[in-house]
Structure 1
Amino acid sequence: MTETLVVTVAFNSADVLDDFCASLPAASERGFRLVIVENNSGEREATRDIARRHSAQFVALDQNLGYGGGITAGLTQLAISEDFILIANPDLVFHPGAIDALVDAAHRNPQAAAFGPQILNVDGGVYPSARQLPSLRNGIGHALFYRLWPSNPWTALYLQETNTSTERPAGWLSGACILIRRDVFDAIGGFDSTYFMYFEDVDLGARIGRAGWANMYVPSALVTHRGAHSTSTSESAAMMIREHHRSAYTYLSRKYTGWYLAPLRLVVRGGLSFRSWWLTRRL
Protein backbone atom coordinates (compact mmCIF):
# COMPACT_ATOMS: atom_id res chain seq x y z
CA MET A 1 0.00 0.00 0.00
CA THR A 2 1.32 3.47 -0.88
CA GLU A 3 1.59 6.23 1.71
CA THR A 4 0.62 9.11 -0.54
CA LEU A 5 -2.45 10.08 -2.56
CA VAL A 6 -1.66 12.77 -5.14
CA VAL A 7 -4.67 14.83 -6.21
CA THR A 8 -4.87 17.68 -8.70
CA VAL A 9 -7.77 19.74 -10.03
CA ALA A 10 -7.79 20.35 -13.78
CA PHE A 11 -9.61 23.21 -15.50
CA ASN A 12 -8.63 23.61 -19.15
CA SER A 13 -5.33 22.08 -18.11
CA ALA A 14 -4.64 19.58 -20.90
CA ASP A 15 -1.65 21.56 -22.19
CA VAL A 16 0.26 21.17 -18.89
CA LEU A 17 -1.22 18.05 -17.34
CA ASP A 18 0.87 15.54 -19.30
CA ASP A 19 4.12 17.05 -18.04
CA PHE A 20 2.75 17.14 -14.49
CA CYS A 21 1.88 13.45 -14.58
CA ALA A 22 5.13 12.47 -16.28
CA SER A 23 7.20 14.17 -13.56
CA LEU A 24 5.62 12.24 -10.69
CA PRO A 25 7.28 8.78 -10.92
CA ALA A 26 10.79 10.18 -10.48
CA ALA A 27 9.57 12.26 -7.52
CA SER A 28 8.82 9.19 -5.40
CA GLU A 29 10.51 5.84 -5.09
CA ARG A 30 7.86 4.81 -2.55
CA GLY A 31 5.03 5.01 -5.06
CA PHE A 32 1.77 6.95 -4.97
CA ARG A 33 -1.81 6.93 -6.20
CA LEU A 34 -2.80 9.71 -8.62
CA VAL A 35 -6.26 11.24 -8.86
CA ILE A 36 -7.24 13.90 -11.41
CA VAL A 37 -10.39 15.90 -10.68
CA GLU A 38 -11.85 17.62 -13.75
CA ASN A 39 -13.60 20.83 -12.70
CA ASN A 40 -16.22 20.93 -15.48
CA SER A 41 -14.11 22.66 -18.13
CA GLY A 42 -14.24 22.29 -21.88
CA GLU A 43 -11.41 19.75 -21.87
CA ARG A 44 -13.05 16.90 -19.99
CA GLU A 45 -12.38 14.20 -22.57
CA ALA A 46 -8.82 15.34 -23.22
CA THR A 47 -8.21 15.25 -19.47
CA ARG A 48 -9.78 11.80 -19.24
CA ASP A 49 -7.40 10.55 -21.94
CA ILE A 50 -4.40 11.95 -20.07
CA ALA A 51 -5.55 10.28 -16.87
CA ARG A 52 -5.89 6.98 -18.70
CA ARG A 53 -2.39 7.23 -20.17
CA HIS A 54 -0.88 7.82 -16.74
CA SER A 55 -2.98 5.20 -14.91
CA ALA A 56 -4.66 7.88 -12.82
CA GLN A 57 -8.14 7.79 -11.35
CA PHE A 58 -10.41 10.30 -13.04
CA VAL A 59 -13.19 12.18 -11.25
CA ALA A 60 -15.45 14.45 -13.34
CA LEU A 61 -17.44 17.15 -11.56
CA ASP A 62 -20.72 18.58 -12.86
CA GLN A 63 -19.82 22.16 -11.97
CA ASN A 64 -16.75 24.29 -11.40
CA LEU A 65 -16.33 24.35 -7.62
CA GLY A 66 -13.09 26.29 -7.57
CA TYR A 67 -9.76 24.97 -6.36
CA GLY A 68 -10.44 23.95 -2.77
CA GLY A 69 -14.01 22.96 -3.55
CA GLY A 70 -12.84 20.77 -6.41
CA ILE A 71 -10.26 19.05 -4.21
CA THR A 72 -12.82 18.38 -1.49
CA ALA A 73 -15.47 17.15 -3.91
CA GLY A 74 -13.01 14.82 -5.59
CA LEU A 75 -11.75 13.36 -2.33
CA THR A 76 -15.25 12.69 -1.03
CA GLN A 77 -15.80 10.32 -3.95
CA LEU A 78 -12.79 8.17 -3.04
CA ALA A 79 -12.00 5.49 -0.51
CA ILE A 80 -8.75 6.77 0.97
CA SER A 81 -6.37 4.60 2.96
CA GLU A 82 -3.16 6.61 2.41
CA ASP A 83 -1.58 8.46 5.33
CA PHE A 84 -0.80 11.58 3.30
CA ILE A 85 -2.64 13.64 0.71
CA LEU A 86 -0.48 15.65 -1.72
CA ILE A 87 -2.51 18.48 -3.23
CA ALA A 88 -0.90 20.03 -6.31
CA ASN A 89 -1.63 22.38 -9.18
CA PRO A 90 -1.60 20.70 -12.60
CA ASP A 91 0.89 23.25 -13.94
CA LEU A 92 3.68 22.00 -11.68
CA VAL A 93 6.64 19.85 -12.63
CA PHE A 94 8.10 17.82 -9.76
CA HIS A 95 11.85 17.48 -9.43
CA PRO A 96 13.28 14.01 -8.75
CA GLY A 97 12.75 12.92 -5.15
CA ALA A 98 10.43 15.84 -4.28
CA ILE A 99 7.53 13.74 -2.96
CA ASP A 100 9.86 11.51 -0.94
CA ALA A 101 11.50 14.60 0.57
CA LEU A 102 8.09 15.86 1.76
CA VAL A 103 7.15 12.49 3.24
CA ASP A 104 10.56 12.22 4.93
CA ALA A 105 9.96 15.64 6.49
CA ALA A 106 6.60 14.44 7.77
CA HIS A 107 8.21 11.45 9.46
CA ARG A 108 10.88 13.54 11.21
CA ASN A 109 8.44 16.33 12.22
CA PRO A 110 5.56 14.62 14.02
CA GLN A 111 4.39 17.98 15.40
CA ALA A 112 3.61 19.24 11.89
CA ALA A 113 0.59 18.41 9.75
CA ALA A 114 1.33 20.19 6.45
CA PHE A 115 4.50 20.33 4.38
CA GLY A 116 5.29 22.57 1.43
CA PRO A 117 8.17 22.35 -1.05
CA GLN A 118 10.38 25.07 -2.44
CA ILE A 119 8.49 26.33 -5.49
CA LEU A 120 10.58 27.64 -8.37
CA ASN A 121 9.38 29.91 -11.14
CA VAL A 122 10.27 28.98 -14.71
CA ASP A 123 13.19 31.42 -14.59
CA GLY A 124 14.63 29.61 -11.57
CA GLY A 125 13.63 32.24 -9.03
CA VAL A 126 12.07 31.13 -5.76
CA TYR A 127 8.37 31.79 -5.26
CA PRO A 128 7.56 32.83 -1.65
CA SER A 129 5.37 29.84 -0.80
CA ALA A 130 5.75 29.73 3.01
CA ARG A 131 4.46 32.90 4.60
CA GLN A 132 3.18 34.47 7.78
CA LEU A 133 -0.55 34.64 8.30
CA PRO A 134 -1.76 38.01 7.00
CA SER A 135 -2.60 40.77 9.44
CA LEU A 136 -4.24 44.09 8.68
CA ARG A 137 -1.01 46.02 9.28
CA ASN A 138 1.13 43.89 6.99
CA GLY A 139 -1.72 43.37 4.54
CA ILE A 140 -2.38 47.09 4.12
CA GLY A 141 1.33 47.86 3.78
CA HIS A 142 1.76 45.06 1.24
CA ALA A 143 -1.32 46.10 -0.76
CA LEU A 144 -0.39 49.78 -0.85
CA PHE A 145 3.32 49.57 -1.57
CA TYR A 146 4.06 46.21 -3.26
CA ARG A 147 3.86 47.51 -6.82
CA LEU A 148 5.52 50.89 -6.13
CA TRP A 149 8.10 49.70 -3.58
CA PRO A 150 8.53 45.91 -3.88
CA SER A 151 11.19 45.74 -1.15
CA ASN A 152 9.03 47.47 1.47
CA PRO A 153 9.24 45.94 4.98
CA TRP A 154 5.57 44.89 5.14
CA THR A 155 5.84 42.83 1.95
CA ALA A 156 9.17 41.35 3.04
CA LEU A 157 7.71 40.31 6.41
CA TYR A 158 4.57 38.83 4.85
CA LEU A 159 6.34 36.92 2.07
CA GLN A 160 9.39 35.96 4.18
CA GLU A 161 11.44 36.13 0.95
CA THR A 162 14.80 36.19 2.74
CA ASN A 163 14.45 32.70 4.24
CA THR A 164 13.96 30.25 1.37
CA SER A 165 16.70 27.71 2.09
CA THR A 166 15.93 26.65 5.68
CA GLU A 167 13.40 24.05 6.79
CA ARG A 168 11.14 26.01 9.13
CA PRO A 169 7.60 26.47 10.38
CA ALA A 170 5.34 28.91 8.52
CA GLY A 171 1.95 30.45 9.12
CA TRP A 172 0.62 28.94 5.90
CA LEU A 173 1.86 27.12 2.81
CA SER A 174 0.94 27.70 -0.80
CA GLY A 175 -1.89 25.44 -1.94
CA ALA A 176 -0.08 25.07 -5.26
CA CYS A 177 1.69 22.12 -3.63
CA ILE A 178 1.09 20.89 -0.10
CA LEU A 179 1.41 17.50 1.59
CA ILE A 180 -0.95 17.07 4.53
CA ARG A 181 -1.66 14.27 6.97
CA ARG A 182 -4.95 12.72 5.96
CA ASP A 183 -6.28 12.40 9.50
CA VAL A 184 -5.64 16.09 10.19
CA PHE A 185 -7.15 17.15 6.86
CA ASP A 186 -10.28 15.16 7.73
CA ALA A 187 -10.40 16.41 11.32
CA ILE A 188 -10.37 20.10 10.37
CA GLY A 189 -12.81 19.62 7.49
CA GLY A 190 -10.41 20.09 4.58
CA PHE A 191 -10.63 23.22 2.47
CA ASP A 192 -13.38 25.74 3.19
CA SER A 193 -15.43 25.67 -0.03
CA THR A 194 -16.66 29.25 0.49
CA TYR A 195 -13.29 30.32 -0.94
CA PHE A 196 -13.75 29.72 -4.65
CA MET A 197 -10.13 30.51 -5.36
CA TYR A 198 -7.35 32.19 -3.37
CA PHE A 199 -7.00 32.27 0.42
CA GLU A 200 -8.29 28.72 0.78
CA ASP A 201 -4.67 27.79 1.58
CA VAL A 202 -4.27 30.70 4.01
CA ASP A 203 -7.44 29.62 5.80
CA LEU A 204 -6.28 25.99 5.84
CA GLY A 205 -2.92 26.95 7.36
CA ALA A 206 -4.62 29.06 10.02
CA ARG A 207 -6.96 26.22 11.00
CA ILE A 208 -4.05 23.76 11.12
CA GLY A 209 -2.32 26.12 13.54
CA ARG A 210 -5.41 26.57 15.70
CA ALA A 211 -5.72 22.79 15.91
CA GLY A 212 -2.27 22.64 17.50
CA TRP A 213 -0.23 21.55 14.48
CA ALA A 214 2.57 23.24 12.56
CA ASN A 215 2.93 24.06 8.86
CA MET A 216 6.45 23.15 7.70
CA TYR A 217 8.41 24.55 4.75
CA VAL A 218 10.68 21.89 3.20
CA PRO A 219 13.10 23.49 0.70
CA SER A 220 14.84 20.16 -0.03
CA ALA A 221 11.68 19.24 -1.99
CA LEU A 222 11.64 21.12 -5.30
CA VAL A 223 8.89 21.78 -7.83
CA THR A 224 8.68 24.21 -10.74
CA HIS A 225 5.52 26.24 -11.30
CA ARG A 226 4.90 26.90 -14.98
CA GLY A 227 2.23 29.58 -14.59
CA ALA A 228 -1.50 30.26 -14.58
CA HIS A 229 -2.64 28.30 -17.64
CA SER A 230 -6.37 28.74 -16.94
CA THR A 231 -6.24 32.54 -16.49
CA SER A 232 -4.56 33.56 -19.76
CA THR A 233 -7.24 35.89 -21.17
CA SER A 234 -7.79 39.43 -19.92
CA GLU A 235 -11.36 38.55 -18.95
CA SER A 236 -10.31 35.58 -16.83
CA ALA A 237 -7.39 37.55 -15.37
CA ALA A 238 -9.79 40.29 -14.26
CA MET A 239 -12.12 37.71 -12.75
CA MET A 240 -9.23 36.19 -10.78
CA ILE A 241 -8.17 39.60 -9.45
CA ARG A 242 -11.71 40.26 -8.26
CA GLU A 243 -11.91 36.80 -6.73
CA HIS A 244 -8.59 37.32 -4.93
CA HIS A 245 -9.86 40.51 -3.31
CA ARG A 246 -13.21 38.95 -2.42
CA SER A 247 -11.44 36.05 -0.73
CA ALA A 248 -9.07 38.42 1.05
CA TYR A 249 -12.05 40.23 2.58
CA THR A 250 -13.70 36.94 3.54
CA TYR A 251 -10.57 35.85 5.40
CA LEU A 252 -9.95 39.19 7.15
CA SER A 253 -13.61 39.67 8.10
CA ARG A 254 -13.56 36.27 9.79
CA LYS A 255 -10.30 37.04 11.57
CA TYR A 256 -11.46 40.42 12.91
CA THR A 257 -14.96 39.54 14.06
CA GLY A 258 -15.70 41.77 17.08
CA TRP A 259 -18.75 44.00 16.83
CA TYR A 260 -16.55 46.97 17.69
CA LEU A 261 -14.46 46.20 14.59
CA ALA A 262 -17.42 46.71 12.23
CA PRO A 263 -16.17 50.16 11.08
CA LEU A 264 -12.74 48.64 10.39
CA ARG A 265 -14.27 45.82 8.34
CA LEU A 266 -16.22 48.41 6.33
CA VAL A 267 -13.04 50.34 5.58
CA VAL A 268 -11.21 47.13 4.59
CA ARG A 269 -14.06 46.10 2.31
CA GLY A 270 -14.11 49.49 0.62
CA GLY A 271 -10.34 49.54 0.23
CA LEU A 272 -10.21 46.07 -1.29
CA SER A 273 -13.10 46.86 -3.63
CA PHE A 274 -11.36 50.01 -4.82
CA ARG A 275 -8.03 48.19 -5.30
CA SER A 276 -9.76 45.44 -7.27
CA TRP A 277 -11.42 48.02 -9.53
CA TRP A 278 -8.16 49.90 -9.99
CA LEU A 279 -6.22 46.80 -11.00
CA THR A 280 -8.85 45.58 -13.48
CA ARG A 281 -9.96 48.87 -15.03
CA ARG A 282 -7.74 48.50 -18.14
CA LEU A 283 -7.85 44.74 -18.61
Structure 2
Amino acid sequence: MEDVTGEDCTVRAVIIGVVVTHAAPAAQLERCLAALLADGSLDRIIVVDNGGGAIVPERDDPDDAAGLLDVVRTDNRGYGAAANDGFALAAELGAEHVALLNDDVIVRPGWTAPLVAALARDDRLGAVQPKLLFADREPPTINSLGVEVDEFGAGHDLGFGDPDRSAEPADIAAFTGGAVLFRCGFLDATGGFDERYFLYYEDVDLAARGRALGWRYRCVPDSVVEHIGSATTSGDPSRTLYLQERNRLWCAARNADARTIARAAWLSLRRLRHEPRGVHARALLAGTAGAPVRLWERRSG
Protein backbone atom coordinates (compact mmCIF):
# COMPACT_ATOMS: atom_id res chain seq x y z
CA MET A 1 0.00 0.00 0.00
CA GLU A 2 1.17 3.50 -0.84
CA ASP A 3 0.37 5.86 2.06
CA VAL A 4 0.92 9.49 1.11
CA THR A 5 -0.07 12.11 3.63
CA GLY A 6 -0.57 15.70 2.54
CA GLU A 7 -3.00 18.38 3.69
CA ASP A 8 -4.36 15.93 6.28
CA CYS A 9 -5.22 13.34 3.59
CA THR A 10 -4.14 9.73 3.42
CA VAL A 11 -4.78 7.99 0.10
CA ARG A 12 -4.28 4.54 -1.35
CA ALA A 13 -3.34 3.28 -4.81
CA VAL A 14 -4.41 0.06 -6.48
CA ILE A 15 -2.78 -0.95 -9.74
CA ILE A 16 -4.57 -2.59 -12.65
CA GLY A 17 -2.72 -4.19 -15.52
CA VAL A 18 -4.82 -4.91 -18.61
CA VAL A 19 -3.89 -7.72 -20.99
CA VAL A 20 -5.69 -7.52 -24.34
CA THR A 21 -6.02 -10.20 -27.03
CA HIS A 22 -3.05 -8.98 -29.03
CA ALA A 23 -0.80 -9.13 -26.01
CA ALA A 24 2.93 -9.19 -26.38
CA PRO A 25 4.94 -12.33 -25.61
CA ALA A 26 4.74 -13.62 -22.07
CA ALA A 27 8.22 -12.30 -21.31
CA GLN A 28 6.95 -8.76 -21.74
CA LEU A 29 4.07 -9.18 -19.30
CA GLU A 30 6.48 -10.83 -16.88
CA ARG A 31 8.74 -7.78 -17.14
CA CYS A 32 5.78 -5.50 -16.39
CA LEU A 33 4.68 -7.55 -13.39
CA ALA A 34 8.22 -7.91 -12.06
CA ALA A 35 8.57 -4.13 -11.90
CA LEU A 36 5.19 -3.76 -10.19
CA LEU A 37 5.87 -6.50 -7.63
CA ALA A 38 9.28 -5.00 -6.88
CA ASP A 39 7.78 -1.56 -6.29
CA GLY A 40 6.62 -2.46 -2.80
CA SER A 41 3.99 0.28 -2.56
CA LEU A 42 0.87 -1.36 -3.96
CA ASP A 43 -2.28 -2.74 -2.36
CA ARG A 44 -3.15 -5.01 -5.25
CA ILE A 45 -2.15 -5.78 -8.82
CA ILE A 46 -5.10 -6.83 -10.99
CA VAL A 47 -4.31 -8.41 -14.33
CA VAL A 48 -7.24 -8.55 -16.73
CA ASP A 49 -6.50 -11.28 -19.26
CA ASN A 50 -8.74 -10.05 -22.05
CA GLY A 51 -8.84 -13.28 -24.03
CA GLY A 52 -5.13 -13.17 -24.73
CA GLY A 53 -4.23 -16.42 -22.98
CA ALA A 54 -1.46 -14.72 -21.03
CA ILE A 55 0.41 -16.88 -18.55
CA VAL A 56 0.26 -15.12 -15.21
CA PRO A 57 0.46 -16.56 -11.70
CA GLU A 58 -2.85 -17.03 -9.94
CA ARG A 59 -3.51 -15.65 -6.46
CA ASP A 60 -1.51 -17.50 -3.79
CA ASP A 61 0.95 -18.74 -6.43
CA PRO A 62 4.43 -19.20 -4.88
CA ASP A 63 5.74 -16.58 -7.32
CA ASP A 64 3.32 -14.08 -5.75
CA ALA A 65 4.79 -14.22 -2.29
CA ALA A 66 3.17 -10.98 -1.16
CA GLY A 67 -0.34 -12.13 -2.20
CA LEU A 68 -0.84 -8.98 -4.26
CA LEU A 69 -1.91 -10.47 -7.56
CA ASP A 70 -5.47 -11.01 -8.76
CA VAL A 71 -6.28 -12.33 -12.23
CA VAL A 72 -9.52 -11.65 -14.09
CA ARG A 73 -10.00 -13.76 -17.20
CA THR A 74 -12.57 -12.58 -19.72
CA ASP A 75 -13.50 -12.83 -23.37
CA ASN A 76 -12.01 -10.24 -25.69
CA ARG A 77 -14.59 -7.47 -25.43
CA GLY A 78 -12.06 -4.74 -26.06
CA TYR A 79 -9.67 -2.60 -24.07
CA GLY A 80 -12.28 -0.42 -22.40
CA ALA A 81 -14.32 -3.42 -21.26
CA ALA A 82 -11.22 -5.08 -19.81
CA ALA A 83 -10.30 -1.91 -17.95
CA ASN A 84 -13.84 -1.52 -16.62
CA ASP A 85 -13.75 -5.11 -15.33
CA GLY A 86 -10.57 -4.28 -13.48
CA PHE A 87 -12.01 -1.03 -12.12
CA ALA A 88 -15.03 -2.93 -10.78
CA LEU A 89 -12.83 -5.39 -8.89
CA ALA A 90 -10.69 -2.57 -7.52
CA ALA A 91 -13.83 -0.84 -6.24
CA GLU A 92 -14.91 -4.07 -4.52
CA LEU A 93 -11.51 -4.16 -2.84
CA GLY A 94 -12.04 -0.64 -1.49
CA ALA A 95 -9.66 1.28 -3.74
CA GLU A 96 -9.75 5.07 -3.67
CA HIS A 97 -7.46 5.40 -6.69
CA VAL A 98 -6.87 2.99 -9.56
CA ALA A 99 -3.96 3.01 -11.99
CA LEU A 100 -4.42 1.60 -15.48
CA LEU A 101 -1.35 0.26 -17.27
CA ASN A 102 -0.72 -1.41 -20.58
CA ASP A 103 1.09 -4.72 -20.23
CA ASP A 104 4.04 -3.20 -22.12
CA VAL A 105 4.72 -0.57 -19.44
CA ILE A 106 7.63 -0.91 -17.02
CA VAL A 107 7.26 1.28 -13.95
CA ARG A 108 10.22 2.92 -12.25
CA PRO A 109 10.62 2.78 -8.46
CA GLY A 110 8.61 5.42 -6.63
CA TRP A 111 6.32 6.15 -9.57
CA THR A 112 3.07 6.15 -7.57
CA ALA A 113 3.94 8.69 -4.87
CA PRO A 114 3.95 11.87 -7.04
CA LEU A 115 0.67 10.83 -8.70
CA VAL A 116 -1.12 10.05 -5.45
CA ALA A 117 0.15 13.29 -3.89
CA ALA A 118 -1.17 15.31 -6.85
CA LEU A 119 -4.66 13.85 -6.40
CA ALA A 120 -4.51 14.54 -2.67
CA ARG A 121 -3.80 18.23 -3.28
CA ASP A 122 -6.64 18.89 -5.73
CA ASP A 123 -10.00 17.15 -5.41
CA ARG A 124 -11.11 18.24 -8.91
CA LEU A 125 -8.34 16.27 -10.57
CA GLY A 126 -9.99 13.16 -11.96
CA ALA A 127 -6.83 11.60 -13.38
CA VAL A 128 -3.08 12.14 -13.40
CA GLN A 129 -0.55 10.55 -15.70
CA PRO A 130 3.19 10.03 -15.40
CA LYS A 131 5.78 10.95 -17.96
CA LEU A 132 6.05 8.05 -20.41
CA LEU A 133 9.45 7.38 -21.96
CA PHE A 134 10.10 4.91 -24.75
CA ALA A 135 11.66 1.82 -23.21
CA ASP A 136 15.24 0.87 -24.03
CA ARG A 137 15.84 3.91 -26.22
CA GLU A 138 18.99 6.03 -26.12
CA PRO A 139 19.05 8.91 -25.71
CA PRO A 140 15.93 8.80 -23.52
CA THR A 141 12.93 9.85 -25.60
CA ILE A 142 9.46 11.01 -24.58
CA ASN A 143 6.44 8.92 -25.48
CA SER A 144 3.77 11.04 -23.78
CA LEU A 145 3.32 14.02 -21.49
CA GLY A 146 -0.44 13.91 -21.94
CA VAL A 147 -2.79 14.05 -24.92
CA GLU A 148 -4.07 16.96 -26.98
CA VAL A 149 -6.91 16.86 -29.52
CA ASP A 150 -6.48 18.76 -32.79
CA GLU A 151 -9.00 20.55 -35.00
CA PHE A 152 -9.84 17.28 -36.77
CA GLY A 153 -10.67 15.45 -33.54
CA ALA A 154 -7.43 13.45 -33.62
CA GLY A 155 -5.59 12.74 -30.38
CA HIS A 156 -1.82 13.25 -30.20
CA ASP A 157 0.69 12.52 -27.44
CA LEU A 158 2.34 15.68 -26.15
CA GLY A 159 6.12 15.63 -26.48
CA PHE A 160 6.07 12.49 -28.63
CA GLY A 161 9.56 11.76 -29.98
CA ASP A 162 11.22 14.67 -28.17
CA PRO A 163 14.41 14.15 -26.15
CA ASP A 164 13.69 13.62 -22.47
CA ARG A 165 13.71 16.81 -20.46
CA SER A 166 12.73 18.06 -17.05
CA ALA A 167 9.20 19.40 -16.91
CA GLU A 168 6.82 20.92 -14.41
CA PRO A 169 3.41 19.41 -13.63
CA ALA A 170 0.90 20.76 -16.14
CA ASP A 171 -2.82 20.46 -16.75
CA ILE A 172 -3.65 18.45 -19.88
CA ALA A 173 -6.73 18.10 -22.05
CA ALA A 174 -6.64 14.31 -21.96
CA PHE A 175 -4.55 11.42 -20.68
CA THR A 176 -3.14 8.34 -22.33
CA GLY A 177 -4.73 5.05 -21.37
CA GLY A 178 -1.28 3.47 -21.44
CA ALA A 179 -0.45 4.68 -17.93
CA VAL A 180 -2.77 6.80 -15.81
CA LEU A 181 -3.96 7.02 -12.21
CA PHE A 182 -7.71 7.61 -11.75
CA ARG A 183 -9.63 8.87 -8.78
CA CYS A 184 -12.39 6.32 -8.22
CA GLY A 185 -14.89 9.15 -7.73
CA PHE A 186 -14.12 10.26 -11.27
CA LEU A 187 -14.80 6.76 -12.61
CA ASP A 188 -18.07 6.63 -10.67
CA ALA A 189 -19.16 10.00 -12.04
CA THR A 190 -18.33 9.22 -15.67
CA GLY A 191 -19.17 5.52 -15.78
CA GLY A 192 -15.67 4.59 -16.95
CA PHE A 193 -14.76 3.74 -20.52
CA ASP A 194 -17.35 3.53 -23.31
CA GLU A 195 -16.91 -0.11 -24.30
CA ARG A 196 -18.34 0.38 -27.80
CA TYR A 197 -15.01 1.80 -29.00
CA PHE A 198 -13.36 -1.61 -28.51
CA LEU A 199 -9.88 -0.10 -28.95
CA TYR A 200 -8.57 3.46 -29.47
CA TYR A 201 -10.07 6.81 -28.43
CA GLU A 202 -11.82 5.43 -25.37
CA ASP A 203 -9.35 7.43 -23.27
CA VAL A 204 -9.92 10.65 -25.25
CA ASP A 205 -13.69 10.14 -24.98
CA LEU A 206 -13.55 9.51 -21.23
CA ALA A 207 -11.45 12.62 -20.70
CA ALA A 208 -13.90 14.75 -22.70
CA ARG A 209 -16.93 13.42 -20.84
CA GLY A 210 -15.19 14.11 -17.55
CA ARG A 211 -14.30 17.67 -18.57
CA ALA A 212 -17.97 18.30 -19.31
CA LEU A 213 -18.64 17.41 -15.66
CA GLY A 214 -15.96 19.77 -14.38
CA TRP A 215 -13.07 17.33 -13.90
CA ARG A 216 -9.48 18.22 -14.79
CA TYR A 217 -6.32 16.22 -15.54
CA ARG A 218 -2.61 16.72 -15.01
CA CYS A 219 0.70 15.26 -16.13
CA VAL A 220 3.11 14.78 -13.22
CA PRO A 221 6.58 14.32 -14.76
CA ASP A 222 8.22 13.40 -11.44
CA SER A 223 6.50 10.05 -11.96
CA VAL A 224 8.20 8.14 -14.78
CA VAL A 225 7.35 4.88 -16.53
CA GLU A 226 8.74 3.27 -19.66
CA HIS A 227 6.55 2.16 -22.55
CA ILE A 228 7.52 -0.30 -25.25
CA GLY A 229 4.65 0.91 -27.43
CA SER A 230 2.19 -0.77 -29.81
CA ALA A 231 2.92 -4.17 -28.31
CA THR A 232 -0.66 -4.87 -27.23
CA THR A 233 -2.05 -3.78 -30.61
CA SER A 234 0.33 -5.48 -33.01
CA GLY A 235 -1.64 -7.46 -35.57
CA ASP A 236 -3.72 -6.51 -38.61
CA PRO A 237 -2.76 -2.93 -39.58
CA SER A 238 -6.00 -2.54 -41.54
CA ARG A 239 -7.98 -3.32 -38.40
CA THR A 240 -5.96 -0.76 -36.46
CA LEU A 241 -6.51 1.89 -39.12
CA TYR A 242 -10.24 1.15 -39.27
CA LEU A 243 -10.72 1.43 -35.51
CA GLN A 244 -8.68 4.62 -35.22
CA GLU A 245 -10.58 6.31 -38.04
CA ARG A 246 -14.05 5.17 -36.99
CA ASN A 247 -13.47 6.00 -33.35
CA ARG A 248 -12.12 9.47 -34.11
CA LEU A 249 -15.45 10.23 -35.80
CA TRP A 250 -17.43 8.72 -32.94
CA CYS A 251 -15.48 10.66 -30.33
CA ALA A 252 -15.88 13.94 -32.21
CA ALA A 253 -19.63 13.41 -32.60
CA ARG A 254 -19.98 12.71 -28.87
CA ASN A 255 -17.75 15.46 -27.53
CA ALA A 256 -16.57 18.10 -30.03
CA ASP A 257 -18.06 21.35 -31.28
CA ALA A 258 -19.79 21.59 -34.66
CA ARG A 259 -16.72 22.92 -36.46
CA THR A 260 -14.51 20.07 -35.23
CA ILE A 261 -17.15 17.49 -36.16
CA ALA A 262 -17.29 18.93 -39.69
CA ARG A 263 -13.50 18.95 -39.98
CA ALA A 264 -13.30 15.38 -38.69
CA ALA A 265 -15.70 14.24 -41.40
CA TRP A 266 -13.84 16.26 -44.06
CA LEU A 267 -10.55 14.57 -43.12
CA SER A 268 -12.14 11.13 -43.46
CA LEU A 269 -13.52 12.07 -46.89
CA ARG A 270 -10.11 13.34 -47.96
CA ARG A 271 -8.49 10.07 -46.90
CA LEU A 272 -10.63 8.20 -49.44
CA ARG A 273 -8.05 9.35 -51.99
CA HIS A 274 -5.43 7.16 -50.36
CA GLU A 275 -4.89 3.45 -49.92
CA PRO A 276 -6.29 1.39 -48.42
CA ARG A 277 -9.43 3.07 -49.78
CA GLY A 278 -11.70 0.23 -48.73
CA VAL A 279 -10.64 0.54 -45.10
CA HIS A 280 -11.10 4.31 -45.13
CA ALA A 281 -14.53 3.92 -46.72
CA ARG A 282 -15.70 1.35 -44.16
CA ALA A 283 -14.46 3.50 -41.31
CA LEU A 284 -16.23 6.57 -42.71
CA LEU A 285 -19.49 4.65 -43.12
CA ALA A 286 -19.32 3.16 -39.62
CA GLY A 287 -18.29 6.46 -38.08
CA THR A 288 -21.13 8.30 -39.81
CA ALA A 289 -23.65 5.62 -38.90
CA GLY A 290 -22.68 5.84 -35.25
CA ALA A 291 -22.76 9.64 -35.10
CA PRO A 292 -26.51 10.23 -34.54
CA VAL A 293 -26.71 8.18 -31.35
CA ARG A 294 -23.66 9.99 -29.96
CA LEU A 295 -25.11 13.37 -30.82
CA TRP A 296 -28.27 12.31 -28.98
CA GLU A 297 -26.26 11.10 -25.99
CA ARG A 298 -24.49 14.43 -25.60
CA ARG A 299 -27.82 16.27 -25.62
CA SER A 300 -29.37 13.89 -23.11
CA GLY A 301 -26.32 14.12 -20.87
Shift of 1:128: 2.6
What's the CA shift string for 1:126-162, capped at 9, x where partnerless?
11341223332x85xx9xxxxxxxxxxxx7xx73568
Structure 2 residue aligned with 1:149: none
For residues 246-278 of structure 1, give each alpha carbon's deviation from its aligned partner in whole angstroms, at most 9, with x where no partner exists: 1111112223576x9987665344235656726
Normalization by structure 2: what TM-score? 0.74
Identity of aligned residues (%): 23
Q: Are positions 1:4 and 2:3 aligned together?
A: no
Number of matched pairs: 257
2:150 partner SS? coil
**Residue in 1 aligned with 2:295?**
none
Q: Which residue of 2 aligns with 1:246?
A: 246
Distance in 1 (alpha carbons) for counterparts of 2:260 and 2:183: 35
C-alpha contact 2:129 2:146 (8 A) present in aligned 1: yes
1:134 alignment partner in structure 2: 150
Specify the alignment match of 1:146 in structure 2.
none
RMSD, matched Cα: 3.1
- C-alpha distance after superposition, 1:211-259 (max 9, x if no partner): 11210100000000022223444xx23322221111111112223576x
Question: Cα distance, 1:65 vs. partner?
Answer: 1.4
The superposition leaves residues 170-194 of structure 1 with CA deviations (integer Å, 9 ceiling, x where unpaired) of 0001110110110111111001111
Q: Does 1:120 find its partner at 2:137?
A: no
Aligned-pair distance for 1:68? 1.1
- In the other structure, the counterpart of 1:107 is 120
Q: Is the 8 A contact 1:172 1:202 kept in 2?
A: yes
SS at match of 1:100: helix
In structure 2, the partner of 1:36 is: 47
Select the residue among 171, 176, 179 that pairs with 1:177.
179
Q: Between the two structures, name the one with larger relative contact order (CA 8 Å, sep ≥ 6).
A: 1
Aligned mates of 1:82, 1:222 — CA distance in 2: 22
Give the gaps of 5 or more residues in structure 2: 3-11, 281-301
Structure 1 stretches of 4+ with a deviation exceeding 6 A read 260-263, 278-281
The aligned residue for residue 293 of structure 2 is none
- Aligned residue type for 1:6: I
Aligned to 2:170, which of 163, 168, 171? 168
The amino acid that maps onto 1:21 is L
